[in-house]
Amino acid sequence: MTNPTLKTQASSNSSDSQDESIESEIRRIWRNVLVLGVAFMVHFTAFWGASNLQSSVNAEAGLGTITLAAIYASLLLSNILLPAMVIKWLGIKWTIVASMLTYTPFMLAQLHPRFSTMVPAGLAIGLGGGPLWCAKCTYLSVAAQAYAKLGRVSNTEDGGTQAKADRVVTRFFGVFFMFYSCSQVWGNLISSAVLSSGGDEIISNATTSIFTNSSVSSNNLDIVLAACGANFCPDNVVTTASEDALGPVLAPPSPEKIRTIALIYLACMLFAAGLVVVAVDPSDRYDKNRKSEEKKGPSGVKLLAVTLRQLGDLKQLLILPITMFIGAEQAFLAADYTAAFVSCSWSVSMVGFVMVAFGVCDAIASAVAGGIARTLGRPPLVCLALVLHAALIITLLVWRPTADKPVPFFLIAGLWGVCDAMWLVQINSLSGTMFPGKEEAAYSNFRLWESTGSVLTYAISPYLCTESIIYWLLVLLVVGCTGYAAVEWMERDLWYPGRERRKVQIVSKTQRAAHVESSVD
């Protein structure tokens, strides 16, 4: 006869063992999310540090901005045609590794910046960027669903497993973008530390212009006030300082400094790829059937078809303008704000320090945005981002920057980072949760139209005055938030605390593939 005490004890031991296993898996999921965030932080420390300097360091003939436009132009096609195919061949983890390595030629091209080296390197980044970001989004989504299945989401919150997974996705995206935003901090600190070392650049606080010698003209302050900020026009830029210069001077740093920065950034990228190889688990750990199901997933052509078909969904169409705005505002800050406001009226070497303010605020806002959204709902955060970003854009139209008043440079960059974080976290999570079973098409559309906004802004930057580009941003913001408001009205019961949330089943990869097949047919 079985002893009831022994039976109870065995059951208790089994339960304890199961709890330990669950806790261990929870920690492992968090470790993967954190390591992935750190790897992206290190990788984009290099990329953003170099990108933020392009419009100033490679200003001649618009080389820097044209290269940035090439990056995002190739990213447009890459987002649609390559992710599914590359992920099917390599798997999610190795897609991330391989895609990171496609960024390294860009750093090597900085050693000999020419159109023949920079533009092809930019195209390579774009080709790798599509699979990289799609793989990252998919990895976080899969990890979030595994986390939700383990039951470590507050039991006081309403909703089924998918509703819990939706909240975990938002949390994971918030943590990820906290690390990702830090890349702006470290990348810009590195560039500014290197560029401000030595004494080959003289910055005159009296004239607020940049000179590579001690000759300073008394009318330079008038030139800065008339030609920098919103009045900045690329046609007026000169790259060699002189006493009779009639426009803003963007004198490039010495080749030795550029070489030092490029090699440091190259080492960062190689380290990031190695970190993913060593410390991130394959995604099929969370879905045993995922590896075989990925082979049945959509090809690039099929994903293109389903991505375009997704545009037939009214909600997808309505969020396209705000998605474009995210890409446009990032491009504006990297290309126009750094050149027209910081480099023009202050110094190229100060670009990094100013962008540190952007990175710090972006990181902090990313970390708290997800938690605030869980408490207040998404719409209040988006409304705050709208009001704050509109105020910043209008400020840029009237502000006349001078180096003897440095605080506004940092304040505007920092608040811009807060807005960017709120847009990224909330619109990313919206794209992943609004279309259950169609995540590939939703994320593909997000990256497609974000890149479209970046490409258009980078493309017009070398040819239009900054004032025109600022108005372009303002129009996109108003149209984008109007479309977003319409989507929230259609989905108004889903994200306000205390209201009933949507309850849907988790859609498997096989079902997603079936949806793609039916869409193509």
Give me the tens of pLDDT residue by residue for the chain, a chain 521 residues long.
Answer: 556 555 555 555 556 566 667 788 888 999 999 999 999 999 999 998 898 888 778 877 778 889 988 998 898 888 778 887 898 899 999 999 999 999 999 999 999 999 999 999 999 999 999 899 889 988 988 888 888 887 655 444 445 555 566 778 878 888 888 888 788 788 888 988 888 876 544 443 333 333 333 333 445 566 666 788 999 988 766 555 454 444 555 556 788 888 999 999 999 999 999 999 999 988 877 765 555 555 555 556 666 777 777 777 888 899 999 999 999 999 999 889 988 999 888 888 888 889 889 888 988 888 788 778 777 778 888 899 999 999 999 999 999 998 889 999 999 999 999 999 999 888 887 876 777 667 677 777 887 888 889 889 988 988 899 999 999 999 999 999 999 999 888 876 554 444 444 443 444 444 444 444 444 44
The CA-atom distances, in angstroms, between 117 and each of 68, 107, 109, 496 are 13, 10, 5, 51
Q: Is 497 helix (H, G, I), strand (E, B) or coil?
A: coil
Task: Say what the alpha-carbon torsion angle 190, 196, 201, 205 is, to the nearest 10 degrees.
Answer: 120
Phi and psi torsions of 125, nearest 5°: -60, -45
Residues 6+ apart with CB under 8 A from 459: 69, 73
* Domains, the chain: 30-281+296-520 (1.20.1250.20)
Handedness of CA 199, 200, 204, 205 (dihedral sign): negative
Contacts of residue 315, defined as CB under 8 A and 6 or more positions apart, other chains included, come to: 434, 435, 487, 490, 491
Q: Report whether 32 contacts 280 (CB < 8 A).
A: yes
Residue 435 — left, alpha, or beta (φ > 0 → left; ψ -120 to 50 → alpha)? beta
Give the count of beta carbons closer than 10 Å to the beta carbon of residue 313: 16
Quick check: 40 and 140 in contact, CB under 8 A? no
